[in-house]
Amino acid sequence: TGADPLFQKNRIHDEPEIGVLVDTNGKGTFDQNEIFANYDHGVQVTSGATPSFRKNRIYNSAGTGFFVTAEGCADGEETKGVLENNEIFANNMAGVRIVNNADPQLNGNRIYRNTKAGIFVTADGRGNLVGNEIFGNVLAGLEISFGGNPVGTRNTIRDGA
């Protein structure tokens, strides 16, 4: 609870479930890591966690590249976090999935060649999307459903497959 680790320039791969799980009000700075080939999600952020992910490569996960949910939050808690200048690509589901009132900040990421949407916001997920380049995803660059309510500014969404 409340952990605040620093992870830089690591290779996190071939985990039987999730490559990186930030849970229960966890924080942390994850900078310039390679997170790939994990059985479920590359990264999962949940239960009031607020980590920062910068300049990472998150790819080839069997599930979503970066999954963020406020599930498990106590009243008044929010799951936020910052994704900035990451490359998120070639995941078997969405590149980024935001659900259950989670509200992350996505700035300047390249999100491409994912099997589903580049960014999927659903189930009352929110998110502030600024200056991201989203391209070459199979289903949609940005998919919004079931009460998803993101805010976007200066994003480029192009070249859906």
Taking the chain (161 residues) in runs of 10, the rounded mean pLDDT of each run is 88 97 94 98 95 98 96 80 98 97 97 98 97 97 97 96 67
What is the predicted pLDDT for the residue at 106?
A: 98
CB within 8 A of 34, min separation 6: which ones? 10, 11, 12, 13, 56, 57
**The two structure tokens encoding residue 24:** 């229960």
pLDDT of residue 1: 57
Give every CB contact of residue 159 below 8 A, 6+ residues apart in sequence.
135, 136
